[in-house]
Structure 1
Amino acid sequence: MTSPVGNRLLPALVDEGARSTPDRLFGIIPKGPALSDGFRNVTFRELAYAVDALAWWIHKHIGQPGNGPKTIAYMGANDIRYYIFLLSCAKTGHTPFLPSTRLSDEAYQHILNATNCHVMLFTPETQRRTMEIKASRPSTVYLEAPATADLLSSNSETYPFTTPYAAMEDTVAFIIHSSGTTGMPKPVPLTHGFLATWDHAPHIIPAGRKSALYNGFSVGSGALLLSITPNFHLMGLIGPFGSIFHGFPFISIPDGPLSVQLLTDTINATRPDFVMIPPSLLEDMSHSEAALAALKTVKYTCFGGAPLALETGERLRKYTTLRTVLGSSEIGLVSSLAPEDEAKWNYFEWNPVYGIDMQHVNDGLHELVIRRGENTKTFQGIFHTFPDLTEYHTKDLFVQHPDNPNCWAYHGRLDDVIVLSNGEKLNPITLEKMIEAHPSVSRVVLVGEKRFQSALLIEPVWPDNNSIDEKEYIDNLWPTIQRANEVVPNYGRVMRSHIRLSSPSKPFKLTPKGTTQRRLVNNDYAEEIEAIYAKSAENSMESLPLTLNLHSLTQWVRVKITTLLDRPDIADDEDFYAAGMDSLQTVQLAQALNSALSADITQQQIYARPSINKLAASLFSILNGTSNGATEISRTEQITNLVTKYTHDLPSDPQRQRPVSSSQTVILTGSTGSLGTYLLNTLLQDNSISKIYCLNRSDTAKTKQTTSFEEKALDATPLTDEGRVEFLTAALSEPNLGLEQEKLATLLETVTLIIHNGWTVNFNLPVEFFESQICGVRRLIDFSINSRYTAHVAFVSSVGTIGNWKPTDTDNSVPEIPMETPDVALEQGYGESKHVGERICLEASRQSGVPTSILRVGQIAGPTTVAGLWNPTEWVPILLKTSKGLGVVPDSLGGMGVDWIPVDTLATIILEILQIRLHETQTESNAAFFHLTNPAITPWSSLLPSIQSSLSTSTAPVTPAPLTIWMNELEKIKSPTDSDISDKPALKLLPFFRDLANGDTLSAETSTVNAQKASRTMASLKGVDGALMVNWIRQWGF
């Protein structure tokens, strides 16, 4: 008579199956060690014969228990004999022990003593290792087990087994052991009562839900399970136990090293319904098209033992349904439900009857605790393992789903948590899994216990020759590490200087489940870890104050800044860029900070905090593992606040009447710059313009202007005629533009056009740096409002204000219209500040009737003339000079085409547009927008031959290479000398060139319809060609 579910013994079920359904499938096993040998079915009849045959063999060679069961170890080929052995021992009354085949000699001695084991069975495949154990343990009896074929083909007499479940519930069914991660392996005896909880597991699933493991397959359905976990591990026994208890036959793979190819071929040959595969192997499979095709034939893919990287899982679930399960040697499987939303494949939903209590630990982490109930022993295996406990703390950590409180994502173990020397706790799992998802990485371990910061050990996928250029490898992996750094707190982020590759002679030690044994890796690599921190300490010897607090750190930063600037009088709240700090000094400061703080302080972080107090506060936050981000307003809010600040009190007069002047008087700001010089030259050639006022900050602007004209071979004679052009020293952000009252009154009475061209060009500084210039836009608007002719304001803006514009269904190119949301601007202070300027002009037109023209200028190139010079401090000449220094020129500009306009041509286009705008009637729009980019776009590749021929010499050729390679070459220079900076000035603009390489530039073409209608020169513009490029390179003298 069959016992009820939860009270059944495995040997009895096998015997009954052999009697009632002898041809029922128990499992599918390989015929031989090679996949080409094929597979064969094993029925319950064959299983029963094999169990009885081995039971009689044990009876003969080992004997009956006598005064108590003997512990018999089995260490053989990873095949069906493991299951036969367990069942035979149950029948004979002995205790089977399944040691790992991967232990050290010391561990074997320890675990065999701990289990009082004096008999060991082996197979030819493990004979060598067994004899090594025998050499240090000769008193143990060593026996070679019968061959699989002999056992399965036997027609053995039944070995009697009639013991009831009640008598065996608390008897040890078999012994496994812990992984030994924290020391020597410990024996884990599991009882027949523990196994009975597996029998009960499918029968406690709530109505309408599915088990995470069996996924709705009904008991007895015959669904095939492929599990590849070693049979000495508890998870490896799910297959045979599930077949006996629940009617889910298993599939075994050929014994040997696991590989993607072996697993793929096995799936294709046996067609399982569901598979259990460790995450490490799933990650490898996700990069194989053949493996993905094989997984597509599988209904469900289960994984456990470790989390699966998110991007790997998302890639896999396009081919198969993913299920995650949780278990341990002591617990068995924790009862969990299949997710109702397949997108939550990496979340657990616990069976509500199982007694789970998620106890909060810290920082959103919860520990899984199992509580004992009145009638829960029939399905809670842990309380058979530890019968005296009423609750069990698993040490497994989880985070709750933000929207579904019943769903929990695995987040490591309490043992995994790294406690840094400052007391901050760091969970390494997510970062490690993100990096391990990279195809060149086998495994990684984050270290840093009791250290000030973390470090990373990486085990690469070693090539056949076991040779890897460590620097090149880390450079290639660095973008992945940076993305992983984003998911951990600042105090836990890995710095490039704190990364080390493993040695091929010291592979990371793994548990039987295939997870990394963190503590053993830390022990094996103790010297290498020490070397990482020793090197960091050497690099920061100049370093921080002994007593570290905000005050002492501020003093330390002050010394650094004042030394760099040679300005002992700089105030702690003063903008040190306004005080003269340049990009080279920024590079030097970043190097000093990185050296002293052992932190990855970028140039961009310094640009964003341009005062001693701001920088010190930021550094203090980083050192203490805190973020001041919570107190910083968002980018959108910051920009919107600036717009509001400078537009909220504009006077309301949208239909303002504008008298017409018989002549034009122009204010030009920024006249001494490159575009300003050509604008002034063009204005001077226009006889309709009676007077030009050049407003500049410098009181020597006229001298500079004359020099600029002469350098460009422009006629400087008109500059001496004050009746035609007058240079005024101005401060645009101050009331009255910083002009004397009498002069201001003259300008208010006569000026008809303001061309606002003056602006600091720096792509690194934050938007707040430009506030004085933003204020200057409002001051010029106020001037217009108060002027007799309501002077037309032409604002020279930038395509950076539309750099993040995205194509729509109706527009593939950026239209020449107002952009009133900050998200369209590039995330750089320069473009953001120009966006604010545009919005001020737009609101002035709407609310106050000020006529405005917004000129969104793209890349301004050098002049078309032989004389003149494209400013060599701009990014294009910097790129080309650096290319000459490196011997490598980028073969692309990161997807950017060459839509540049020569500076002298651009000046003509602007004046043509403004002449049209000045003569538009009162009824036409107060505000108009124009894109000044070359509509005839030239591919960068077409310019390369001219660039190469101009930059190369017979002894120093310059060759094209991908932009990423160019960047890699540049970033290899970790501590640039003065010579490096001179030859390779792109080192001063690394953030900009990284953006270029990443494609973080204008993402769509710009419409130039309005500009072409208003300017005949724009409409007939030709593209940049090789001849122009050769001319510019000649002018630079590279």
Structure 2
Amino acid sequence: MPSATQSISDQSAIDYYKAFVNFIKIQSKLYADNVFVRYQVNKCFKTLTYSQVDHITTNLACEWAKQVEGSDVISYISDHSIDYLLTMIALMKLRFTLLAVSPRNSEAAIVNLLEKTNSKVFFTSPKYKAIAKSASVKIEGVSLIVVNPFDIEALLNQPLNDRQNEFIDTSFTEKDLDKPALIIHSSGSTNYPKPIYLTNRYVLNICGVFKLYKEQNPHLDLVKQSDVFLICVPLCHVFGFFCTFSVVYAGASVVFLEKLPPSQNEITYALKQNNCTLMAAPPLVFEQMVPYLKETNEFSAAQNLKFAIFAGASLKRETGDWLQKHNINIRNAYGTTEMSAGMFANLDPRCKNWYSLRPIWNDRSGQSYFIFEDTDEGYKHLYLRSDSPTLALNVSNREGGGYNSNDLFLEDSEYPGYFNYVGRRDDTLVMENGEKTNPVPMENAIRQSTIVKQVAVLGHARQCTAALIEIDMDYAMSYGPEEIISLVYEAVEDANKECPSHSTILPQMVKILPFNKTLPSTDKGTVIRKKAEAMYADLVEKMYKDFLEGPVYNSSSDSSSWSAKQTESFLVKSIADVLHMPEFAFNDHERSVFDLGLNSLTAIQLRNAIAKQFKNVPQNFLFQNSTISSMRQALLSDSQVGAAELAEMRYQQAQELAKSYLERANKDFSVAKNDYEAEKKEKVVLLTGATGSLGSFMLRDLLKDATVKKGLLFNPRIEVLPMRLTEQYLGLTKERYEQLKEKITIVQHCAWLLDFNMTIDHYDKECIAPFYNLLKFAYREVNPMHVHFISSVSASAALGSEIEEKPLPFDSHAAMPMGYAQSKFVCEILLGYLMKDKNFPCYIERVGQVSGDSESGVWNTSEQYPLLFVAGSLMRKMPKLSTVIDWIPVNYASSAIVDIMLRTVHFSANIESSVYHIVNPHHENWTDILNAMKSCGMKFDVVESVEWVDTLSKDDTNPAFRLMSFYEDSFKKDFKMPIWQTKKTCKLAPILAKSPVVDSKLFSKYLSHWQSVGFYKPSN
């Protein structure tokens, strides 16, 4: 028998039992006469003791032993029931690995699971005989065994099989600990379910979770012999398995209902009839419990629970707080099949923290196996150490071992050491402009409203987010249509308050589904977002199209006769409505509305409001007319400014802006003294834009270089600075500002707005002026910091057929006619001046088209070329282009730039060595890309670009449709990009010359990545 000193904490109990079935056998002898299971038959509850369960399952195992020979894995599909429990234990006693197949699976998913696990024996209840038979016949050599409902009384009367030692191996060694005992599969919400192998060590530990918690908190009354645990979670899920068998360590009992999910009446009846003291259920069950308790006022059974735990999804705060207030000790739990049940809220009933979670698994030195690491977005990512006893078999996905959960958390400020779940890394929606939105906290916030049953927040590769809302009819019956809409909008507005501006859900992008429609969810209550978007694809596309294309002009409007004052009043009111600000905030009609909070998303909303009253309002109207005065003038003007005239106006603006910065720089900077060789400071780098693709690779490469002492930006070599470049001291204290000004040796400015709609004056406020502040910070009279600036080839693209590695002439026409390119031109002119006239070492890295990582194949799916490739695959057409390809993989671009940064750190200012081109020195033709695509199995015809655009314009479901206008403009213009010389750059950074071209080998990596994230699906 296990001694009282054996524990989960030091793994001595695990070493003692060695295997799950041995654990069941030993505990069944120890608690032979204790009730193990209370099961419902025709509304009455019957019981089986530990010894009776052991007796029945031993006989069943002996009965099936001959039938299951020759298969390492046995599969089983059935509903959660007493029969399931008995079958599971019996099959596991035969020492085969049991695959628990969820009845929610499709036939194709079941076939896939059987194939992946090489399962040759498939047990099923009669209810699932048809689907089990249909699946098994599709795989050679699979035998099907139908298990009819048990006559438990008859099974109890059977004598114990006297050949049990012949059929059941009861000898165990330490080697059994790491053998697979059970397979629980993932939900398959995004793909086929994945089988996850659980060892005996894992299973014994998960059964001991409450024992472990008691060891850590000996004062708490948790699970003991007299306790009765109501389980409302199926055994085929790890949460259900954990709760069911957690009673075995203490000799307590579990309650099995006739069916899942249960009604609230059935739950109350079970709680009362069995005097339950513990309960586990999905959050949805507790959501439904609140209105039931309010209506019936039957609190006693629920209040008798020592604790009630939920897991798998979020519970509305309002629900949890209400249950706590009414003395029902609701508690949150967290786990995954790969990691086991690993975190719990404080189970002490005296503690009000029912929601936030703390890891419970520690090694013998007290260090947690569950590690939180910082992310770029400010969240904590959870991973499990490779040496954790709760790590499933062969699931490691981290370098050096361990398991990335991809789950994100924030530490609870009220309860330090406890964490709140906020969503998944792979839930992240990457917007069309590259901004990222985590939809899970937004969905959780919206679901706090009692009127909302389920919600899906969408927006991946779109210009804005949208929400599909499923109404909770139990509440909706008490409200009229207008009240329902109002309550939904209130819930959405609450979510908007907590999210970044680019994630805001506008009223036009909220769709309440018809009352007879539902959103697909997992059995844990989590919305299946991709499936929801696919189910309502037409509705979603129409919602986006209506919003982005804007309303039809209201011909009944008489705005043509409006005066200047009336027009300005209309504009002020419209802007105030869109930005939720008072009208007096817009008294300055010469100020850009983008300075006052308008962004690319709300600009669409405002443009639509204007288009209702005025004819022929172009999509880019606000970007070209950003002040109230300029809007009024454009709307009342009899003639529109021509495109060529407008472009020339922007060129002149850029020229004047560059001139003004040179005049400022002449006053603000004196001529610096350079003596870097004598000083030879340690390399301390300030990197901006480190969360972007190129910036993150530069951060990685800087850390790989041992000569870099510190990167100012989580490990000891990195410091994160919350900088605001628009402020005098960059958002730092004056003291910290001066400390860093002395300490830093290299500045790499990678952060920049990428929005081709914005004009040069907007870029001035958002990017150029803040950069000027950074230059003032980097300047020192003696040995200024070496400043590096990520420019763009677009700043020099109109200069000629071949671009030299040297500073630009002072002519804004060198840049392409868009605000982004012109902003880079202004900065290049400024940096050239500082280098030449002020002895301030400033370096320019002109970056061309960056492709995906050549190692992993990761390439942002919202960019123009990935979208073009996938569009071509869907249409089976690719455009004929004359483009010369000098694309450079992001990892090579980063390596080259970091080389330049570190090799020039002790150089004095020299204008002749200040400009470098980060493009691929090895050029290809567009036909080479097309051949690479075909080599990878993509099928298409090559057509004229006009035909390609025309085909795309007729299919608004194509992912590239959202860039329609961009492709149309790009393909219309007969603009041939020049060649950028790289001789000087390759000499200083030889890695550039090793950059691979996009051939079939590299392109196949891109396709594999896109396929893995669901962006690309090979056509037959």
| TM-score for the superposition, normalised by structure 1 | 0.51
Which residue in the other structure is 2:129 paired with?
127
Q: Give the deviation of 1:385 after TM superposition.
A: 5.3
2:49 to 43, 53, 75: 43
2:37 maps to 1:30: no
Structure 1 counterpart of 2:171, from 154, 163, 170: 163
Task: Please point out which of 591, 609, 629 is paired with 2:586.
Answer: 609
Structure-2 change in CA distance of 1:238 and 1:407 (3 Å)? same
For 1:470 and 1:129, how far apart are their aligned partners in 2? 42
Counterpart amino acid of 1:343?
K
Question: Is 1:53 aligned to residue 64 of structure 2?
Answer: no
**1:64 match:** 69
Q: 1:78 to 1:153 in 2, by over 3 A?
A: farther
Q: Equivalent residue of 2:63, what SS?
A: helix
Counterpart secondary structure, 1:480: helix
* Deviations, residues 489-547 of structure 1 (Å, cap 9, x unaligned): 2322222211223467764333243322222222322222212101112316889xxxx
Name the aligned partner's letter for residue 143 of structure 1: I
State the SS of the aligned residue for 2:312: coil
- Name the structure 2 match of 1:348: 357
Contact 2:455 2:469 in 1 (8 A): yes
| 1:20–1:206 Cα change, 3 Å | closer
CA distance in 1, matches of 2:311, 2:491: 24
Indicate yes or no: 2:443 matched with 1:399. Answer: no
Q: Within 2, Cα distance between the matches of 1:142 and 1:505?
A: 38
The alpha-carbon distance between structure 1 residues 501 and 112, as it changes in their structure 2 partners (threshold 3 A), is farther
AA partner of residue 51 (structure 1): T
Match of 2:118 among 116, 119, 124: 116
Give the match for residue 94 of structure 1.
96
Which sections of structure 2, spanning at least 5 residues, go unmatched? 4-11, 604-1020
Do structure 1's residue 623 and structure 2's residue 600 form an aligned pair? yes
Residue 227 in structure 1 maps to residue 231 in structure 2: yes
Matched ranges for 1:40-439 at <5 A: 40-60=46-66, 62-65=67-70, 69-133=71-135, 140-150=142-152, 151-157=155-161, 159-160=164-165, 161-202=169-210, 204-205=212-213, 209=217, 216-217=220-221, 220-288=224-292, 289=294, 290=296, 293=299, 294-319=301-326, 320-336=328-344, 338=346, 342-351=351-360, 353=366, 354-372=368-386, 376-377=388-389, 380-382=390-392, 386=396, 390-439=401-450
Residues 961-997 of structure 1: CA deviation (Å, up to 9, x unaligned)? xxxxxxxxxxxxxxxxxxxxxxxxxxxxxxxxxxxxx
- 1:609·1:615 contact (CA, 8 Å) conserved in 2? no
* Equivalent AA in structure 1 for residue 124 of structure 2: F
User: In 2, Cα distance between the equivalents of 1:71 and 1:503?
Assistant: 45
Instruction: Identify the residue that residue 798 of structure 1 maps to in structure 2.
Output: none
Structure 2 counterpart of 1:251, which letter?
V
Q: Distance in 1 between matches of 2:319 and 2:159?
A: 48
Identity %: 21
Q: Give 1:247 shift.
A: 2.8
Letter in 2 for 1:430: P
Question: Are residues 457 and 167 of structure 1, via their aligned partners in 2, closer, same or farther at CA, if it must alter by over 3 Å?
Answer: same
2:507 corresponds to: 496
Distance in structure 2 (CA, Å) of the matches to 1:73 and 1:237:
16
Q: Counterpart amino acid of 1:331?
A: M
- RMSD of aligned residue pairs (Cα, Å): 3.7
Instruction: Give 1:228 shift.
Output: 0.9
Name the SS of the counterpart of 1:86 in structure 2. Answer: helix
Matches within 5 A, 1:850-929: none
Distance across 2 between alignment mates of 1:196 and 1:390: 22
Look up the equivalent residue of 2:455 and give its one-letter code. V
Aligned to 2:563: 566
Counterpart residue number, 2:940: none
Contact 1:73 1:120 in 2 (8 A): yes
How far apart are residue 177 of structure 1 and its match? 0.9
Q: Which sections of structure 1, spanning at least 5 residues, go unmatched?
A: 544-559, 568-578, 595-599, 627-1038
- 1:675-731 per-position Cα deviation (integer Å, ceiling 9, x unaligned): xxxxxxxxxxxxxxxxxxxxxxxxxxxxxxxxxxxxxxxxxxxxxxxxxxxxxxxxx
- Give the residue type in structure 1 aligned to 2:588: S
Q: Distance in 2 between matches of 1:387 and 1:295?
A: 41
Structure 1 position 172, deviation (Å)? 1.6
Question: Which residue is 1:805 aligned to?
Answer: none
Shift of 1:436: 2.0
| Contact map agreement 1:172 1:192 (CA 8 A) in 2 | yes
Change (3 A) 1:466 1:77: farther
C-alpha displacement of 1:103: 1.4
Deviation track 1:268-305 (CA, whole Å, cap 9, x = no partner) reads 33232121121122222222224872422322121111
AA in 1 matched with 2:593: A
Structure 2 residue matching 1:486: 3-state secondary structure = helix
Cα contact 1:172–1:191 (8 A) shared by 2: yes
User: For the Cα contact (< 8 Å) 2:344–2:358, is it kept in 1?
Assistant: yes
Displacement after TM superposition at 1:55 (Å): 0.2
Whole-Å Cα distance in 2 between the matches of residues 505 and 115 of structure 1?
39
CA distance in 1, matches of 2:475, 2:344: 42
Q: Distance in 1 between matches of 2:140 and 2:480?
A: 47
Alignment-mate amino acid for residue 172 of structure 2: P
Q: Which amino acid aligns with 1:245?
A: Y
Partners in 2 of 1:131 and 1:461 — Cα distance?
38
Secondary structure of 2:309 counterpart: strand
Displacement of 1:5 in angstroms is 0.7
Asked whether the equivalents of residues 14 and 47 of structure 1 are also in contact (C-alpha less than 8 Å), the reply is no
Determine if contact 1:350/1:356 at 8 Å carries over to the other structure: yes
Correspondent of 1:477 among 467, 482, 488: 488
In structure 2, relative to structure 1, the CA distance for the partners of 1:361 and 1:233 (3 Å cut) is same
Amino acid at match of 2:74: I
- 1:191–1:384 contact (8 Å) kept in structure 2: no
Measured after TM superposition, the shift of residue 486 of structure 1 is 1.8
Compute the TM-score of the two structures, normalised by the length of structure 2: 0.52
Distance between the aligned counterparts of 1:199 and 1:603, measured in 2? 53
Structure with higher Rg: it is 1
- Select which of 451, 454, 473 maps to 1:440: 451
Alpha-carbon distance between aligned partners in 2 of 1:463 and 1:531, rounded to the nearest angstrom: 29
After superposition, the Cα gap between the structure-2 partners of 1:504 and 1:580, relative to the gap in structure 1 and judged at 3 Å, is closer
**Shift in Å at residue 312 of structure 1?**
1.8
Q: Which letter does structure 2 place at the counterpart of 1:617?
A: F
Q: Is the 8 A contact 1:190 1:384 kept in 2?
A: no
Q: Is the 8 A contact 1:75 1:98 kept in 2?
A: yes
Per the alignment, residue 810 of structure 2 pairs with none
Question: Per the alignment, do residues 201 and 102 of structure 1 end up closer, same or farther by CA in structure 2, a change over 3 Å counting?
Answer: closer
Equivalent pair of 1:239/1:249 in contact (CA under 8 Å): no
Q: Deviations over 1:320-354 (max 9, x none)?
A: 12211111111111144626673322111223543
Question: Aligned in 2, Cα 1:387/1:427: closer, same or farther, shift over 3 Å?
Answer: closer
1:486 aligns with 2:500: no
Q: 1:383/1:529 Cα in 2 relative to 1: closer, same or farther (>3 Å)?
A: same
Counterpart code for 1:25 = V
Measure, in 1, the Cα distance between the counterparts of 2:313 and 2:593.
Answer: 40
Question: How many angstroms apart in 1 are the aligned matches of 2:537 and 2:248?
Answer: 47
Contact 1:5 1:199 in 2 (8 A): no
- Letter aligned with residue 64 of structure 1: E
Judge conservation of contact 1:193–1:384 (CA < 8 Å) in 2: no
Per mean C-alpha deviation after superposition, the further-off stretch among 318-327 and 200-209 is 200-209
Q: Secondary structure at the match of 2:525?
A: coil
Per-residue deviation, 1:131: 4.8
Q: Tell me the alpha carbon deviations over residues 737-792 of structure 1, each in whole angstroms, 9 at most, x when there is no partner.
A: xxxxxxxxxxxxxxxxxxxxxxxxxxxxxxxxxxxxxxxxxxxxxxxxxxxxxxxx
Supply the AA of the counterpart residue of 1:166: E
Letter in 2 for 1:101: P
